[in-house]
């Protein structure tokens, strides 16, 4: 959309993303099992919201509106009414208008987009946050909850694990059309874990992954689908993490920055955003993310940028093959050439276009409603040199995010410029 005002990301905060294989996650093999419990949805959201105030120095009283991304709180946590839940985080938020946004895995991106819309409509300081807890049930039951983001009537029965099967189908078609191998796709996974190993917030920060392990199925990396046609095209290592976590950011106009006493040099500017939505159900070409491509093209046009201008990107790698498709949809690689980009290391931290520098959904983690907010915060942190061991060598000028819901049915893309 065309912006009426200049809009800035002031900063924010996030929780550690946790789940199975994270050292702090309490499960039956953890020494504190039965003694401690994992954080609740409300506790995570509260931590991120108050952390954003602490990190930015913004008084909660200054927040005029708030937007919360969450996909399935009612199913995983028996909790809806997220706006009213969020304002419990701080007494100074009581009475302020907070609203929930839901668009499957793009819920967080929609929360940020709603914040931008509110600023364009006349507000000066808003908050966008997202949170999800998914570890409260079995993997199979959780897969059923997440399947609500598909077209339930026609797609639920593709497999017990609906979305893994849907993206295994994309992997199958992509490999067959372009001659891409499992090893090619595995380069994405290895990069993700390598980055996450440097990231203290990452779900899989303590788990290492090499190319041989990521490329080959085995007892520790099984092909778990029941759909026999699709089973060979997806392994556990190809999947994003079932994570619990939250993130929150503060957005402001120029007038808002003046009210807050924040210098522009401490912010990044939002140049453009676009949302594209396609009907649930079958797609014409499983090797193309058409919806994401549409959103990205609009963002590039409105921001006055080309794909080659982007210095850092956060993309929706819900499965390893999805990152390759994202490279192509965002214009970083020609059709069928995404695997080549990954294989040559161009999307690594020291590559020509660093992508998912903190580990992406594959290894940073994927608490669904938080992901789109986390993506924006990661661009901010890279631009302000706050990423520590996974900081890219040269300070980026332009950044891009692409947060996708469902099987490329809802996409929110955004472009950013560092303010120096």
Question: Cα(331)–Cα(307) distance, rounded to whole angstroms?
Answer: 5
pLDDT value of position 133 = 99
Grade residue 3 by pLDDT with cuts at 50, 70 and 90.
very high
Is the pLDDT confidence value at 261 over 80? yes
Of 22, 105, 123, 233, which one is the catalytic site residue?
105
How is the beta sheet containing 245-253 ordered, strand by strand?
Answer: 98-101, 65-69, 125-132, 245-253, 7-14, 268-277, 410-418, 398-405, 312-315
Residue 49, CB half-sphere, CA atoms under 13 Å: how many?
31
Q: Which pLDDT tens digit goes with each residue over 146-171?
A: 999 999 999 999 999 999 999 999 99
Q: Determine the pLDDT at residue 47.
A: 99
Among residues 123, 203, 316, 366, the one annotated as catalytic is 366
Q: How many CA atoms lie within 13 A of 39 on its CB side?
A: 22
Long-range pairs, 32-39, Cβ under 8 A, ≥24: 38/133, 38/135, 38/244, 39/15, 39/133, 39/244
Is there a catalytic annotation at residue 105?
yes
Distance (Å, rounded) from C-alpha 101 to C-alpha 382?
26
Q: So what's the pLDDT on residue 34?
A: 87
| 3-class DSSP assignment, residue 349 | coil
Percentage of the chain modeled with pLDDT above 90: 97
For residue 29, pLDDT beyond 90: no
Q: Are the CB atoms for 398 and 310 separated by under 8 Å?
A: yes
CATH number for the 7-136+242-264 domain, one of 3.30.420.40, 3.30.1600.10, 3.40.50.300, 3.40.47.10?
3.40.47.10
User: End-to-end alpha-carbon separation of the chain, Å?
Assistant: 25
In this prediction, residue 359 carries a pLDDT of 99
CB atoms within 10 A of CB 31: 8
Delimit the domains of the chain by residue range: 7-136+242-264
Backbone dihedral region for residue 179 (phi beyond 0: left; psi -120 to 50: alpha; all else: beta): left
pLDDT band at 1 (very low <50, low <70, confident <90, very high): confident
Per the CB < 8 A criterion, the answer to whether 365 and 17 are in contact is: yes
Residue 401, CB-side half-sphere exposure with 13 Å CA sphere: 31
Cα angle for residues 249, 251, 252 (degrees, 5° grid): 155
Residue 2's pLDDT band (boundaries 50, 70, 90)?
confident
Read off the pLDDT band of 410 (50, 70, 90). very high
Element (H, E) at 228: none
Q: Residue 353 and residue 331: Cα distance in Å, rounded?
A: 11
For residue 91, the model assigns a pLDDT of 99
Q: For the residues 80-95, what does the mean pLDDT come to?
A: 99
Residue 286 confidence (pLDDT): 98
Question: Across all residues in the chain, what is the average pLDDT?
Answer: 98
**389 burial via Cβ count (<10 Å: 0-12, 13-18, 19+):** exposed
Q: What is the mean pLDDT of the segment spanning 248-273?
A: 98
pLDDT over threshold 90, residue 297: yes
> pLDDT digits over 44-87, tens only?
999 999 999 999 999 999 999 999 999 999 999 999 999 999 99
Cα–Cα dist 195/351, whole Å: 13
CA distances from 103 to 31, 338, 348 (A): 37, 27, 29
Q: How far is CA 333 from CA 23, 200, 353, 357, 375, in A?
A: 37, 30, 11, 18, 21
Q: What per-residue confidence (pLDDT) applies to 28?
A: 83
Paired tokens of 216? 């080959």
Considering the entire predicted model, what is its pTM?
0.98
pLDDT score of 182: 98
Cα separation of 260 and 228, whole Å?
Answer: 58
123 is catalytic: no
Q: How far apart are CA 394 and CA 349, in angstroms?
A: 10
Tokens of 232: 């060979």
Q: Are 240 and 362 in contact (CB under 8 A)?
A: yes
Residue 27, pLDDT score: 87
Question: What is the reported pLDDT for 114?
Answer: 99
Distances (CA, A) of 419 to 11, 14, 154: 13, 22, 47
What SS3 class is residue 221? strand
Looking at residue 57, what is its pLDDT?
A: 98
The confidence score (pLDDT) of residue 391 equals 99
If phi > 0 it is left, if psi is from -120 to 50 it is alpha, else beta; for residue 6 that is: beta
Could you tell me what percent of the chain has a pLDDT over 70?
100
Decide if pLDDT at 244 tops 90: yes
Both tokens of residue 133? 């807890």
């Amino acid at each position: 959309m065309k912006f009426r005002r200049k809009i800035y990301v002031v900063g924010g905060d996030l929780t550690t993303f946790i789940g199975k294989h994270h050292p702090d996650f309490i499960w039956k093999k953890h020494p504190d099992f039965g003694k401690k419990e994992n954080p609740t949805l409300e506790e995570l959201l509260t931590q991120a919201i108050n952390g954003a105030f602490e990190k930015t120095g913004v008084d909660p009283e200054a927040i005029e509106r708030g937007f919360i991304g969450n996909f399935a709180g009612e199913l995983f946590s028996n909790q809806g009414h997220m706006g009213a839940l969020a304002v419990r985080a701080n007494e100074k938020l009581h009475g302020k208008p907070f609203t929930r946004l839901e668009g499957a895995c793009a819920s967080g991106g929609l929360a940020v987009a709603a914040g931008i819309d509110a600023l364009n409509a006349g507000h000066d300081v808003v908050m966008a946050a997202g949170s999800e807890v998914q570890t409260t049930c079995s993997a199979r039951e959780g897969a059923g909850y997440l399947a609500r983001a598909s077209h339930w009537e026609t797609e639920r029965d593709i497999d017990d694990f609906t979305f893994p099967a849907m993206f295994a189908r994309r992997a199958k078609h992509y490999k067959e059309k372009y001659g891409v191998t499992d090893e090619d796709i595995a380069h994405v996974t290895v990069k993700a874990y390598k980055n996450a190993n440097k990231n203290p917030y990452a779900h899989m920060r303590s788990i290492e992954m090499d190319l041989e392990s990521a490329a080959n199925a085995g007892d520790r990396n099984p092909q778990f689908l029941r759909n026999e046609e699709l089973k060979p095209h997806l392994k556990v290592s190809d999947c994003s993490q079932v994570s619990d976590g939250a993130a929150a950011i503060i957005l402001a106009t120029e007038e808002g920055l003046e009210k807050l006493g924040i210098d522009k040099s401490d912010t990044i500017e939002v140049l453009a955003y676009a949302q594209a939505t396609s009907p649930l159900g079958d797609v014409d070409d499983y090797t193309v993310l058409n919806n994401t491509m549409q959103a990205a093209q609009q963002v590039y046009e409105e921001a006055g940028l080309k794909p080659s201008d982007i210095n850092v990107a956060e993309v929706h790698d819900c499965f390893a093959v999805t990152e390759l498709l994202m490279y192509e949809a965002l214009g970083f690689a020609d059709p069928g050439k995404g695997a080549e980009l990954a294989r040559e290391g161009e999307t690594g931290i020291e590559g020509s276009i660093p992508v998912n520098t903190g580990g992406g959904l594959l290894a940073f983690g994927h608490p669904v409603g938080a992901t789109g907010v986390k993506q924006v915060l990661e661009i901010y942190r890279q631009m302000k040199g706050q990423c520590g061991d996974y900081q890219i060598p040269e300070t980026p000028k332009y950044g891009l995010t692409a947060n996708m819901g469902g099987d490329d049915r809802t996409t929110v893309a955004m472009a950013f410029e560092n303010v120096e």
